[in-house]
């Protein structure tokens, strides 16, 4: 096998399941820490109990947006199954990706996302206008990597985050290909940030659970008359619900996720 073919998939599979070292970073008994290749962070058991570390070499840039991700260091987060002989690996609930910005060259849309984030962090505009759904769904999107093959339908609870290691924004987001009613499993929390030295881009994303929205669309929902005005109004009402919620209304708690970002650190 040639070096090039070997580099197509370079998976280290460093899996830490319930063996992660307790750390004083968050001063909690159920807090775990992982450190690999110059990046370290901590998280609670509610966030994850298993981590798989992967050096992703990057897909072919000519595939286009949504089809190829730039090279990065990825920490996949999941929960260990209680079944001693699980039928399948535990589903990934989220990940933390660390990109070298220099490695993004040639990947369509990546430089634009980085520049958009840099501009937001430099000017610090009010993020509330980004939390309004309008007819053109691409008008007020917030930076997000990797580029997904779906639309950024709405954003909520957007705020700036600054720590000694990173500066960025965190927010709740829905990526979907349709505008059907919002459901409880639609929401993701994300942090999109830059390292203090400006050389790296950190993307953290976790899927949320919440009882603020129904688990499925009602059987008597009127799909035929679901107009543009109605779904825009419903999405904006959903944003108001998300913004008024408590951090503990989500699983994992938004406080746990904020603490994870506060623990990000680089050692090189």
Please determine, for residue 26, whether its predicted confidence score (pLDDT) is greater than 60.
Answer: no
> Tens digits of per-residue pLDDT, 128-148?
999 999 888 878 899 999 999
* Angle subtended at Cα 145 by Cα 144 and Cα 149, rounded to the nearest 5 degrees: 90
Q: What is the pLDDT of residue 212?
A: 98
> Tens digits of per-residue pLDDT, 165-202?
999 999 999 999 999 999 999 999 999 999 999 999 99
3-state SS, 183-203, equals: CCCCCEEEEEEEECCCCEEEE
Please determine, for residue 39, whether its predicted confidence score (pLDDT) is greater than 70.
Answer: yes
Range of the domain at 46: 3-266
* Angle subtended at Cα 88 by Cα 83 and Cα 90, rounded to the nearest 5 degrees: 75
Please determine, for residue 149, whether its predicted confidence score (pLDDT) is greater than 50.
Answer: yes
- What tokens were used for 124? 């610090």
**Least confident segment among 13-27, 114-128, 227-241:** 13-27
Return phi, psi of residue 245, to 5°: -75, 160
SS3 assignment, position 95: strand
Q: Give 258: exposed, middle or buried? Use CB within 10 Å, 0-12, 13-18, 19+.
A: middle
Q: In whole angstroms, what is the distance from residue 74 CA to residue 52 CA?
A: 8
Q: How many domains does the chain have?
A: 1
Q: What percent of the chain has pLDDT over 70?
A: 86
């Amino acid at each position: 096998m040639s070096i090039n073919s070997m580099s197509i998939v370079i998976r280290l599979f460093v899996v830490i399941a319930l063996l992660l070292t307790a750390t004083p970073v968050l001063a909690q008994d159920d807090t775990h820490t992982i450190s690999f290749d110059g990046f370290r962070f901590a998280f609670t058991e509610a966030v994850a109990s298993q981590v798989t570390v992967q050096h992703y070499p990057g897909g072919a840039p000519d595939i286009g947006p949504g089809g190829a991700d730039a090279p990065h260091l990825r920490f996949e987060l999941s929960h260990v199954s209680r079944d001693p002989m699980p039928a399948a690996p535990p589903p990934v609930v989220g990940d933390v990706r660390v990109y070298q910005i220099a490695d993004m060259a040639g990947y369509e849309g990546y430089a634009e996302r980085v520049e958009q984030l840099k501009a937001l962090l430099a000017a610090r505009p009010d993020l509330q206008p980004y939390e309004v759904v309008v007819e053109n769904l691409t008008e007020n999107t917030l930076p997000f990597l990797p580029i997904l093959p779906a639309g950024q339908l709405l954003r909520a609870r957007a705020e700036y985050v600054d720590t000694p290691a990173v500066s960025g924004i965190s927010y709740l987001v829905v990526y979907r290909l349709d505008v059907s009613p919002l459901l409880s499993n639609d929401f993701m929390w994300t942090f999109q940030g830059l390292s203090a030295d400006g050389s790296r881009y950190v993307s953290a994303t976790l899927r949320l659970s919440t009882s603020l929205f129904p688990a499925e669309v009602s059987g008597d929902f009127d799909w035929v008359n679901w107009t543009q005005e109605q779904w825009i109004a419903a999405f904006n009402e959903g944003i108001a619900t998300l913004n008024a919620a408590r951090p503990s209304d989500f699983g994992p708690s938004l406080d746990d996720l904020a603490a994870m970002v506060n623990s990000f650190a680089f050692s090189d």
